[in-house]
Amino acid sequence: MFIGRERELASLHKLYLSDKFEFAVIYGRRRVGKTALINQFIKDKRSIYFMGVESNAKQNLENFSKNVLEFGMSIQGDTAFVSFQAALEYVFKLAEKERLILAIDEYPYVARSSKSLASTLQLLIDKYKDSSKLMLILCGSSMSYIEDHVLAYKAPLYGRRTAQMKLLPFDFFDTCQYFQNFSDEDKALIYGIAGGTPQYLLQMDDRLSIEDNIKNTFLNPTSSLFEEPENLLKQEVREPALYNAIITAIATGASRMAEISTKVGEDTSVCASYLKNLMALGLIQKELPYGEKTSRKSIYSLSDNMFRFWYRFVPENHSIIGRGAADMAYRRIEPCLSDYMGKVFEEICRQYLWKLLLSGESPVEFKELGRWWGTDPSTRSQTEIDIMGEQDKNTALFAECKWTNEKVDVGVLKTLIKRSQLFHYDNVHLYLFAKSGFKKSCVEMARDRKDLALVSYQDILEKVEEPAVF
């Protein structure tokens, strides 16, 4: 079953219908569903699909030749083209009279092994773009390679692409479409522990409880997810041990550069370089207080929920998990889950606000959303705003998010109002989000204010659409 990616499929279909040369670049993190998207798109079309391997040019050329010849001449065996240029030129000619898709998956592996491949493609595109009906798709998991060697201004293929897609993990609303049997609360929890990466979501079973899902995946030494973060790092970086230490430091509470540096025992200059690489991989994000530019206030956090969950709970329980004591490990984790879900719920609320904006339902047409933290001058104490977004110098929204089993009382609302007054906007709209709803005092106060919206978790779930299943 293929779910989601409707926008990406529609874009690819539009390119396909043009019936002229098209060149699409698809890239994104490992496990995000790039190959599944390509296969879904080409399944009923005239196409050649080739996946590069981390080997030498000879091996990749032989594999590519086999795919091309099987398609073009129905030839099987050891026959191979003498070069990538000869093979690609043959493909371009196959597409002279009839639409043909050539999808090269894991292109960086092929291009690294054959240094002239990009220039060869450049030459052939320029030669055949006006006469060929080829639709070329290059796909890769190495985001830095695609950005530097395919999309960048100095890259040989610059200016030849007709479309590009950076595939991101699913958001909460897309994730909900995967699971029909989880309870409403469990849908949020599963998003909190597995994130929106399709390959990780496939490991979850909505016929089981959250407890059993955690035990079967994160607390099971034979599960693919048990070693996934470390294996992924080994594929992407040269020194996984230090990267591991940095991610663990962030997952367990260190957020500022100095804190991370102290925890891992390395200079800040070393940590800065490693953090930059982790951000390029889409695992770490750097945040500043909303509206501020100075980097000295920046903090770091994990941007992928599966990594957040794994690094928060697995390393500290590694020994007992290895001894098969999943029940004991879960008893240690379970009391922390509600606190862990606080940040996840903030993320879900941000996604909800974006949905409102894009559907024309938001009273504030913000450009960005973010957190703010700083000093309250009246109390001289540190304070924080979960979400804020500015439309212009006069208009902004502020939001507070509460993932608790108790209904939210009026005190939380008064605090939000007070914090919003730290800024000087003429038009302010407030959102109070709550997992379990609101106490009567809160509802009564909100009734008299048009600038305030109380949004329960159930209200958020109403934005989940029925899945488009292909």
Query: What are the backbone dihedrals phi and psi of residue 251, each rounded to the nearest 5 degrees, phi first?
Result: -65, -25
Average pLDDT (18-35) is: 94
For Cα atoms 59, 102, 1, give the angle at the middle one, nearest 5 degrees: 100
Query: What is the dihedral sign for C-alpha 84, 31, 343, 449?
Result: positive
Average pLDDT (48-65) is: 93
Q: Beta strand pairing status for 370-376 and 381-390?
A: antiparallel
**Block residue for tokens 């999808």:** 103
Evaluate whether 55 touches 75 at the Cβ level (below 8 Å): no
Q: Which helix (H) or strand (E) holds 441?
A: helix 440-447
What's 6-166's CATH class? alpha beta
pLDDT digits over 297-344, tens only? Answer: 899 999 999 999 999 999 999 999 999 999 999 999 999 999 999 999
Give DSSP secondary structure letters for 127-160. HHTTT--EEEEEEES-HHHHIIIIISTTSTTTTT
Fold classification of 173-341 is: Arc Repressor Mutant, subunit A (1.10.10)
Which conformational region is residue 95 in: left (phi greater than 0), alpha (psi within -120 to 50 degrees), or beta? Answer: alpha
**pLDDT (0 to 100) of residue 74:** 67
Q: Beta strand pairing status for 100-105 and 47-51?
A: parallel
**pLDDT (0 to 100) of residue 73:** 74
pTM over 0.75: yes
Q: Do domains 173-341 and 363-461 have the same CATH topology?
A: no
Query: What is the dihedral sign for C-alpha 350, 415, 187, 357?
Result: negative
DSSP state of 466: P
375: which 2 tokens?
A: 């000093």
pLDDT digits over 166-198, tens only? Answer: 999 999 999 998 898 999 999 999 999 999 999
Domain boundaries, the chain: 6-166, 173-341, 363-461
Q: What is the 3-state secondary structure (H, E, C) of 301-338?
A: EECCHHHHHHHHHCHHHHHHHHCCCHHHHHHHHHHHHH
For Cα atoms 138, 144, 150, give the angle at the middle one, nearest 5 degrees: 40
Which residues have a Cβ under 8 Å from the Cβ of 457 and sit 6 or more positions away?
184, 185, 188, 345, 433, 434, 435, 436
Enter the CATH code of domain 363-461.
3.40.1350.10
Q: Beta strand pairing status for 22-27 and 134-140?
A: parallel
